[in-house]
Structure 1
Amino acid sequence: MAALSGAPTAHTAITAYLAGFGEEPGYLDFARFGPLSRAVLAETAAQQEALTRARPGAYDRLQHGTARLAAAAAAVTGFRADQVVFQPSTTHGITQAVYGVTGPVLVSAADYPSLPIAVARAAELLQTVVPVPLPTSEGRVTPAGVREALTPSTAAVLVSAVDARTGHVADLDGIRQVIGDRLLIVDAVQALGAVDLPWTAADVVACGGQKWLRAGHGAAFLAVSDRAAERLTPALSGIGGSGGDALPWDEVPPVRRGADALQLAHADEAAAARLAAALEDLATAGAREVATLVSGQAARVIALADEFGLPVVSPRAALERAGLVVIEPLPERLTALTAALHNHGVSVTIRGGRVRVSPHAGTQEETLSMLRTALTAYSQAVRPVR
């Protein structure tokens, strides 16, 4: 059957998505920050124009960013739109969820610091949360490790969907099967836009737009299942969780029910619209299709590392990795590799003796050629003199 008039085919949708990349050649650091997409830039320009000129009714028309964000996040994650609320960052969303838990929370000290810090602070300040160390396998959270740490009183498990150091993709379905009806709280910022996961296996998903979604800082969302909304205490609920500008003055209203309660201040509607544009772009292209392209780009980086004898310590299996390729050269060769990448204009993250390379679906051939040139220079620099 022919496509309906005006409806993009899968090919044209992914082509349009790829055309939205505009970063400089050599950029391979999307796991750190994603340069803004053209869809986001267009949305930002429209918002700035409206706010700058302030025509009658312009501000009121801008107050639809959060509703648009909720619909876009729902389309990508599988949650309902009424289960999604705006947050200023992933960390804000994780903190909202963790501060609402009562009981022991499993979290790995090896996970991204926002996660164990949120649990530790909630335990110190509220004394309703009990941190429980979550064992890992080479720094990776696994269903087996979760099963080992579970007790009858465990209230929640907190994990990153993709580990920022190892590039390991968490088995959300496997963890869900292990924990039963306990809450599963997931940090999705290193995953959404790079890997297609069963997000509704989680009870809470927090994700900011500054990495693979290419929407910039200051905009995130929190998706909360009905079960989580019933169990979480809205400890950090403020005017944003009580009705916002619609509130009557001279009285303190009750906290709203559901996901809406997990908000502190008024939402940044312009930031919400920016993130909505990025999520709409992803949904139109297809999260699975984009993830397949990202995986293919990561495979090419792995092949280059192998060609030049650089040890890859991130997962090699396509189902276990996201867009991160982590290389760990010999300690005495790290400086030479760092210099070669810098001198040839290749942007990566270098931390803790490791080099993290993170291409995206739209990474150009010129960028991969620059990486090859840098690795060639590195190889020549460390080649033994005869």
Structure 2
Amino acid sequence: MAGSLPAGARVTCVDGDFSSVVAPFLARGDLHVRQVPLEDLADAVAAGTDLVAYALVQSATGEVADHAAVTAAATGVGAFTFVDTTQATGWLPTDDLHADVVACHAYKWLNSPRGAAFASFSDRALAELTPHAAGWYSGADPWTSCYGPELHLAADAHRFDVSPAWPAWVGTEAALAFALEHGIDAAYRHDVGLANAFRERLGLEASDSAIVTWPDADGDALAALTAAGIVASGRAGRARVAFHLWNDEDDVDLAAGAVTAVRAVDAR
């Protein structure tokens, strides 16, 4: 999308979003990139905006964007919309986004090997975006169009396909079967339920996200979680835990106990 924008195009992004959602536009050097807080994103879409790009679920905070409001604002001014669902697809339903481009790396909540990713394109995106990475796999039937001299592009979204990392897709097929077996709605109820149980134990407000983060500038909470055998992470000065299908109430108790224990020590 960054390569298809004309020089001087105006792009609105989220301040603090994952770098991969913002960096391609900044790297162009000739685009006007505005970054605003997530809660202000829809209101920041004004006449003259060419593209709104954001992650549906913020990596650093777990916040969920109001995609309906953003899409309505973008549609009102004729702007493209790009939504990254890497931190969402797998636990949060994403079939009602109505964005021009939706992209998702499968190695997060879809539990796939790194190297598999998905994207969907609106009719407008198909007509106006240039497939800069076009290659042998961009044809409707790659095996009959893998030699020149003509440019062979599929009429549909396959024109944006790149040569697949074969081993990654073998693992992805099995991972998708696992995800479909349980269903996104069930995953949402389970994951968010555990996350809210953990939030309650920490004195945090309930949320609609499976990701929980809180300030941890010194890394004490992350160290305590790690010492307890919990795989957690530190992001932007915050501790971060995420709950998925293989987690249960015992994990909530273990994580909450580790954090509350270190809080008690810090209080002394």
TM-score interval for Structure 1 and Structure 2 normalised by the shorter chain: 0.7 to 0.9
Q: CA RMSD in A?
A: 2.4
Change (3 A) 1:373 1:249: closer
**Kept in 2: contact 1:162–1:170 (CA 8 A):** yes
1:145 pairs with 2:29: no
Q: 1:135 Cα deviation (Å)?
A: 1.9
Q: Which residue of 1 aligns with 2:65?
A: 170
Q: Which residue of 2 aligns with 1:110?
A: 16
Greater relative contact order (Cα < 8 A, sep 6+): 1
Q: Residue 252 of structure 2: SS of its match in structure 1?
A: helix
Q: Which residue of 2 aligns with 1:223?
A: 120
* Residue identity opposite 1:261 in structure 2: R
**Kept in 1: contact 2:42–2:69 (CA 8 A):** no
Q: 1:132 Cα deviation (Å)?
A: 2.6
CA distance in structure 1 between the partners assigned to 2:131 and 2:192 by the alignment: 38
Change (3 A) 1:342 1:286: closer
Q: Residue 201 of structure 1: SS of its match in structure 2?
A: coil
1:161 is aligned, of 56, 60, 63, to 56
Q: Residue 143 of structure 2: SS of its match in structure 1?
A: helix
Deviations 1:348-380 (A, max 9, x none): 112333111111133033322322332353144
* Residue identity opposite 1:100 in structure 2: S
Q: 1:323 Cα deviation (Å)?
A: 1.1
Unpaired stretches in structure 2, ≥5 consecutive residues: none
CA distance in structure 1 between the partners assigned to 2:243 and 2:165 by the alignment: 30
CA distance in structure 2 between the partners assigned to 1:371 and 1:250 by the alignment: 57
2:211 is aligned, of 324, 327, 344, to 324
Q: Residue 99 of structure 1: SS of its match in structure 2?
A: coil
Q: 1:210 Cα deviation (Å)?
A: 1.2
1:280 is aligned, of 148, 165, 177, to 177
Compare the two structures and name the one with the higher strand fraction: 2
2:3 is aligned, of 99, 105, 121, to 99
Change (3 A) 1:351 1:177: closer
CA distance in structure 2 between the partners assigned to 1:250 and 1:113 by the alignment: 36
Q: Which residue of 1 aligns with 2:133?
A: 236
The 10-residue stretch of structure 1 (230-239 or 267-276) with the greater mean CA deviation from structure 2:
267-276
CA distance in structure 1 between the partners assigned to 2:26 and 2:219 by the alignment: 36
Change (3 A) 1:339 1:157: closer
Compare the two structures and name the one with the higher helix fraction: 1
With structure 2 as the length reference, what TM-score do the two structures score? Answer: 0.86
Where do residues 364-379 of structure 1 align in structure 2 (5 Å cutoff)?
A: 364-379=248-263
Q: 1:383 Cα deviation (Å)?
A: 4.0
Q: Which residue of 2 aligns with 1:38?
A: none
1:208 pairs with 2:109: no
Q: 1:281 Cα deviation (Å)?
A: 2.9
CA distance in structure 2 between the partners assigned to 1:248 and 1:293 by the alignment: 45
With structure 1 as the length reference, what TM-score do the two structures score? Answer: 0.62
Unpaired stretches in structure 1, ≥5 consecutive residues: 1-96, 307-311
1:337 is aligned, of 209, 218, 221, to 221
Q: 1:149 Cα deviation (Å)?
A: 3.8
Change (3 A) 1:383 1:132: closer
Q: 1:250 Cα deviation (Å)?
A: 5.1
Q: 1:161 Cα deviation (Å)?
A: 0.5
Which consecutive segments of 4 or more residues in structure 1 shift more than 4 A? Answer: none
Change (3 A) 1:363 1:256: same
CA distance in structure 2 between the partners assigned to 1:372 and 1:147 by the alignment: 37
**Kept in 2: contact 1:349–1:356 (CA 8 A):** yes
Change (3 A) 1:380 1:170: closer
Q: Residue 205 of structure 1: SS of its match in structure 2?
A: strand
* Residue identity opposite 1:210 in structure 2: Y
CA distance in structure 1 between the partners assigned to 2:189 and 2:169 by the alignment: 27
Q: Which residue of 2 aligns with 1:132?
A: 33
* Residue identity opposite 1:373 in structure 2: G
Q: 1:222 Cα deviation (Å)?
A: 1.2
* Residue identity opposite 2:248 in structure 1: Q
Task: Figure out how many residues of one structure are paired with residues of the other and give that number.
Answer: 263
